[in-house]
């Protein structure tokens, strides 16, 4: 059952016991909300056990609407004492948790959950400041490969572009300089990374990048808005990549393209000391899998894009190596990986010191190979894109 009032709408999902309120609710008087309230009443009457009121995508609500809804929810608790009500908010709509927490104080059966405070298993690592050095050195190494690849996948100047899961925003700065998009949105859920991104563009004087705090699995961006959408190294760290792809598809214009990059960590390699290096990167893949992240995703890109409804899929692979420019840059990437993967993630998994020592050794051997005058160190990446059918 779904009803719409202005740009706001309500729907009730019987199976999930969930009332979904979205858009903008700004009635002049409570009567304007009647269509919405039909759905609310239906939800209250049908719900058993826990009744979820999902306001994650409710962008605006005025006092009239809030008071009317609050009264109905309170009435539900009073008339059905066994019912638990959980209001589900998101930090993306900044005022939401604060406003709805007022309801929690009104009845003991009402609670509030900020959905995205811990919404995917890798979040604590990738949204942390310690991830910033990893991202900074990575993009420095990958850009020289990706710039021509992006052009081959259809990126030309003047397009409306979105970089979803933009991290520290350095890729967006490069896009801005080299491809001069007509619009450039860069969205991420890491407040630390976005703060860093905004600081950098202010310092270097780059303007026109719309850095946006958001959840890529539930974006507030409009349908069919962008000609070219990028999402790099991120489907592999979110536990529901198909949900992210659905959103990337939604915001892409028909005829536009979505471009993704992912790794296959067990294929990182080096000489000399190849066996130790190989062992460590096979363990990296297992470590990420423990936290529900798939850093072996790279070659699966074609299948993922096809399953999400894209056509005209293109895929290419490139190898970042110690011979691309300064070998120290490569070593810096590995050092940043060692710090987070061995220093934080393995510790969090509860690995014993002996394992962690061996795990670290493979990264150190990879750095040794990168800096050795006749050594070779490689990091393979899969870049794929698909067209949203016309
Ligand atoms: C490995 S980093 C890659 C960042 C950037 N694309 C790059 O290549 O440097 C993954 C990024 O995805 C972001 N991320 C993961 N899940 C997200 C979600 N559901 N919504 C928004 N950002 C998300 C993280 O905050 C992190 O910045």
Domain definitions of the chain by residue range:
2-117, 123-387
Per-residue pLDDT, averaged over 334-349, amounts to 94
| Cα of 118 from ligand 1 centre, angstroms | 14
Would you say the CB of residue 125 lies under 6 angstroms from ligand 1? no
Residue 367: both structure tokens together = 């750095």
Class in CATH terms, 2-117 = alpha beta
Q: Are 44 and 51 in contact (CB under 8 A)?
A: yes
pLDDT tens by residue, 313-323: 999 999 999 99
Shortest-distance atom of ligand 1 to CA 167: 27
Shortest-distance atom of ligand 1 to CA 232: 6
Per-residue pLDDT, averaged over 331-359, amounts to 95
Ligand 1 pocket mutation, candidates 119, 129, 165, 218, criterion most atoms within 8 A of CB: 165
Q: Is 66 helix (H, G, I), strand (E, B) or coil?
A: helix
Per-residue pLDDT, averaged over 88-94, amounts to 87
Low-confidence winner among 5-9, 22-26, 97-101 (lowest mean pLDDT): 5-9
| Cα of 170 from ligand 1 centre, angstroms | 13
Rounded CA-CA distance 91/5 in Å is: 24
Rounded CA-CA distance 202/214 in Å is: 21
Rounded CA-CA distance 63/256 in Å is: 40
- pLDDT for 94 equals 82
**Secondary-structure breakdown of the chain: helix, strand, coil percentages, each rounded to the nearest 5:** 45, 25, 30
Look over the chain and give the mean of its residue pLDDT values, rounded to a whole number.
93
Measure Cα distances from 163 to 170, 173, 216, 226, 354 in Å: 11, 10, 10, 10, 40
Would you say the CB of residue 265 lies under 6 angstroms from ligand 1? no
- Rounded to 5°, the CA angle 290-238-202 comes to 125
pLDDT tens by residue, 224-279: 999 999 999 999 999 999 999 999 999 999 999 999 999 999 999 999 999 999 99
Which pLDDT band holds residue 135 (cuts at 50, 70, 90)? confident
Would you say the CB of residue 262 lies under 6 angstroms from ligand 1? no
Rounded CA-CA distance 23/82 in Å is: 30
Class in CATH terms, 123-387 = alpha beta
Q: Is 375 helix (H, G, I), strand (E, B) or coil?
A: coil
| Cα of 14 from ligand 1 centre, angstroms | 33
| Cα of 21 from ligand 1 centre, angstroms | 27
Q: Are 33 and 71 in contact (CB under 8 A)?
A: no
For residue 331, which of 366, 359, 357 has the smallest C-alpha distance? Answer: 366
Shortest-distance atom of ligand 1 to CA 163: 6
Residue 205: both structure tokens together = 């004087």
Would you say the CB of residue 162 lies under 6 angstroms from ligand 1? no
Would you say the CB of residue 123 lies under 6 angstroms from ligand 1? no
pLDDT tens by residue, 175-221: 999 999 999 999 999 999 999 999 999 999 999 999 999 999 999 99
Q: Are 194 and 172 in contact (CB under 8 A)?
A: no
pLDDT tens by residue, 273-294: 999 999 999 999 999 999 999 9
Per-residue pLDDT, averaged over 133-137, amounts to 84
Contacts of 29 (CB under 8 A, 6+ apart): 64
Q: Is 167 helix (H, G, I), strand (E, B) or coil?
A: coil
Ligand 1 pocket mutation, candidates 167, 168, 245, criterion most atoms within 8 A of CB: 167
Contacts of 122 (CB under 8 A, 6+ apart): 237, 238, 239, 288, 291, 292, 293
| Cα of 169 from ligand 1 centre, angstroms | 10
- pLDDT for 2 equals 53
- pLDDT for 6 equals 58
Q: Which of 63-72, 126-135, 294-303 has the highest mean pLDDT?
A: 294-303
Per-residue pLDDT, averaged over 348-356, amounts to 96
Residue 361: both structure tokens together = 């050794």
Shortest-distance atom of ligand 1 to CA 261: 8
Which pLDDT band holds residue 45 (cuts at 50, 70, 90)? very high
- pLDDT for 67 equals 92
Please give the share of the chain, as a percent, with pLDDT higher than 90: 82
């Amino acid at each position: 059952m779904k009803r719409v009032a202005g740009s706001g709408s309500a729907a009730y999902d019987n199976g999930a016991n969930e009332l979904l309120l979205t858009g903008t609710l700004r009635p002049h008087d409570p009567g304007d909300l009647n269509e919405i309230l039909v759905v609310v009443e239906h939800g209250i009457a049908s719900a058993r056990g826990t009744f979820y009121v999902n306001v994650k995508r409710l962008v605006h609500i005025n006092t009239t609407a809030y008071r009317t809804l609050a009264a109905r929810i309170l009435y539900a608790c009073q008339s059905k004492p066994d019912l638990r009500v959980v209001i589900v908010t998101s930090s993306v709509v900044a005022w939401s948790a604060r406003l709805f927490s007022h309801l929690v104080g009104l009845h003991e059966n009402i609670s509030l959950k900020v959905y995205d405070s811990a919404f995917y298993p890798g979040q604590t690592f990738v949204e942390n400041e310690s991830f910033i050095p990893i991202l900074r050195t990575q993009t420095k190494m990958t850009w020289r490969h990706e710039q021509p690849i992006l052009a081959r996948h259809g990126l030309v100047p003047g397009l409306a572009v979105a970089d979803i899961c933009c991290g520290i925003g350095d890729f967006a700065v490069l896009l801005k300089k080299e491809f001069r998009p007509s619009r450039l949105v860069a969205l991420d859920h890491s407040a630390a990374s976005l703060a860093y991104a905004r600081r950098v563009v202010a310092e270097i004087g780059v303007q026109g990048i719309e850095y946006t705090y958001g959840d890529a699995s539930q974006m507030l961006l409009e349908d069919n808005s962008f000609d070219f959408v990028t999402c790099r190294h991120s489907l592999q760290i979110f536990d529901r990549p198909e949900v992210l792809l659905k959103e990337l598809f939604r915001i892409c214009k028909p005829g536009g393209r979505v471009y993704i990059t992912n790794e296959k960590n067990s294929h990182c390699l080096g000489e000399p000391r190849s066996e130790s290096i190989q062992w460590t990167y096979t363990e990296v893949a297992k470590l990420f899998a423990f936290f529900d992240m798939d850093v072996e995703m790279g070659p699966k890109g074609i299948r993922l894009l096809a399953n999400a409804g894209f056509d005209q899929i293109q895929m290419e692979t490139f190898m970042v190596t110690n011979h691309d420019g300064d070998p120290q840059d490569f070593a810096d990437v590995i050092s940043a990986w060692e710090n987070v993967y061995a220093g934080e993630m393995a510790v969090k998994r509860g690995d014993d010191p002996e394992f962690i020592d061996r795990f670290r050794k493979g990264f150190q051997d990879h750095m040794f190979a990168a800096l050795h005058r006749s050594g070779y160190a490689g990091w393979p990446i899969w870049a794929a894109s698909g067209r949203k059918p016309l």
